[in-house]
Amino acid sequence: MSTVKAWAAPSATEPLEPTTIERRDVGARDVLIEIAYAGICHSDIHTVRGEWGEVPYPLVVGHEIVGTVTEVGSDVSRHQVGDRVGVGCMVGSCRECENCKAGEEQYCLKGNIGTYASKDEDGTITQGGYSTHVVVAEDFVLSVPEAIPYEAAAPLLCAGITTYSPLHHWNAGPGKKVAVVGLGGLGHMAVKIAHAMGAEVTVLSQSLKKQEDGLRLGADHYYATSDESTFKDLRNTFDLIVNTVSAELDLDAYLKLLRLNGTMVNVGAPPQALPLHVFTLFDQRRSFAGSGIGGIRETQEMLDFCAEHGIAPETELISADQVNEAYERVLASDVRYRFVIDASTI
C-alpha cells in the first residue's frame, strides 16, 4: 500500500479538508495513475452532503479523473507507462453478467463498483479523484486522445459520457430537435455533443444570463424557463429533451414540450421523488426515461468522438484549497461550466 495526499469530506456539514489515504499495491491487472486533473461533478456535492443516503465518511470524491500512467501490473496490455488516461464513475463490475458482457457495465446486475463510496473487491471503500494518485483495474481505464487539451479533458469522464450516451441512444442527429434543460456541467456538454451530432439544439435555462454562451457552445435557440410564454411557445416541439437539472422540476410542464413519440430523459439526479401525471404521457405518446453514465466501450467512443469533432469542456482550473468555494458556486448555478482541480495543488 502507499499513502497519498487527498482532499476529503469529514462529514455532511463540514468543508472538505486535506488528508492522506491509502492506495492498494498495483496488482497484475492494475495501473497506477498520477492524477493531473479532477473535475467537480454536482454528484460529488449530492454525495458528500448526504443527500442521496448514507456516506462512509471521511470520503474522497471525484469521478472525472485524468492523469498519466506511472506503473503497470505484469498482465496489463491496454496501457503503458507514460500514457494519458482517464477514469470515470466506475472502477469495476462483475464482468460476467449479460449487461457487462454487452459493454453496459454501468448497469451491471451485481452493481458496478463506483469510483468513490463503493465497496471494492478487497472489501475496502473506494476513494475518488481529489487525490494525487489512484490504482485502477486496466479495463476501467480509458485512453485520452492527445487532441483533447489535457487540463480540459477530465469532465468528459462523467459529464461527457452521461450526455453522449442518451443522445446516442435516442438518435440525436440531423432532423431531430433536441432540448437541453440546465446549462451547467452536463448541460454544456449536451449542447456541444448534440450540435456535433447534427441535431437542432435548444437550451432551456432558468434565465437568459448565459444565452450568449449557449449560442456560442452550439445551441440554435435559447429560452428562459422563468418566462411562462416559453412553455406555450414550445408546446409539442421536441423529439428529445435531456434534463440535466440537479433540483426538483415540474416534469409535466417539460413533458408537454415533446412532440409525437418524443422522449424526455432525466440525467439530473435530485434526491426527492418527482410527481408526474400519466395523462401527459398519453398525449403525443410521450416517454419519460432515465440514463446513467455510460459503459466503458461507449466512454472510449465518446472520447474519440470529442477528439474528432474538436469538442472539449469549458473549464475553470482551481487549486485544491478552492474546492469548498467552488461547491458554493456550483450550487448557485454560477459555474462556467466545470471546475477542474489542478491535482499538483493537492
CB closer to ligand NAP, 67 vs 184: 184
* Region near ligand NAP per CB under 6 A, out of 154-162, 194-202, 228-236, 250-258: 154-162
CB closer to ligand NAP, 98 vs 250: 250
* Region near Zn ion per CB under 5 A, out of 107-115, 174-182, 240-248, 302-310: 107-115
CB closer to ligand NAP, 278 vs 332: 332
Residue facing ligand NAP at closest CB distance: 184
Q: What's the closest the beta carbon of residue 100 comes to Zn ion, in angstroms?
A: 3
Distance CA 31, CA 24 (A): 11
Nearest CA among 291, 304, 245 for reference residue 106 = 291
Chain-centre distance for alpha carbon 116: 14
What are the grid coordinates assigned to 201, written together?
439544439
Distance CA 236, CA 256 (A): 6
What are the grid coordinates assigned to 10, written together?
469529514
Handedness of CA 42, 45, 48, 51 (dihedral sign): negative
How buried is 332 (Cβ within 10 angstroms: 0-12 exposed, 13-18 middle, 19+ buried)? exposed
User: Which one of 244, 263, 280, 300 is in contact with ligand NAP (CB under 6 A)?
Assistant: 244
| Footprint of Zn ion on 149-208 (CB under 5 A) | 158
108 binds, among Zn ion, ligand NAP, none (CB under 5 to 8 A by kind): Zn ion
Q: Does 263 bind ligand NAP (CB under 6 A)?
A: no
186 binds, among Zn ion, ligand NAP, none (CB under 5 to 8 A by kind): ligand NAP
* Region near Zn ion per CB under 5 A, out of 21-29, 102-110, 148-156, 193-201: 102-110
Number of chain positions touching ligand NAP (CB under 6 A): 29
How many CB atoms are located within 10 Å of the residue 97 CB?
16
How many CB atoms are located within 10 Å of the residue 318 CB?
17
Q: What's the closest the beta carbon of residue 207 comes to ligand NAP, in angstroms?
A: 7
Helix (H) or strand (E) holding 167: helix 159-169
Q: What's the closest the beta carbon of residue 211 comes to Zn ion, in angstroms?
A: 26
| Footprint of ligand NAP on 276-335 (CB under 6 A) | 291-293, 330, 333, 335
Backbone angles phi, psi at 256, to 5 degrees: -65, -10
Nearest CA among 115, 139, 20, 17 for reference residue 65 = 115
Q: Does 230 bind ligand NAP (CB under 6 A)?
A: no
Chain-centre distance for alpha carbon 279: 32
CB closer to ligand NAP, 62 vs 185: 185
User: Which one of 46, 97, 215, 281 is in contact with Zn ion (CB under 5 A)?
Assistant: 97
- The answer for residues whose C-beta is within 8 angstroms of residue 225's C-beta and 6 or more apart is 181, 204, 205, 206, 231
Helix (H) or strand (E) holding 26: none
Q: Does 103 bind ligand NAP (CB under 6 A)?
A: no
Nearest CA among 77, 33, 65 for reference residue 161 = 65
User: Which one of 41, 135, 172, 179 is in contact with Zn ion (CB under 5 A)?
Assistant: 41
85 binds, among Zn ion, ligand NAP, none (CB under 5 to 8 A by kind): none
CB closer to ligand NAP, 126 vs 162: 162
Distance CA 26, CA 193 (A): 35
Q: Are 71 and 31 in contact (CB under 8 A)?
A: yes
Residues that bind ligand NAP (CB under 6 A): 41-43, 46, 158-159, 162, 182-187, 205-206, 210, 244-247, 267-269, 291-293, 330, 333, 335
Residues that bind Zn ion (CB under 5 A): 41, 43, 93-94, 97, 100, 108, 158
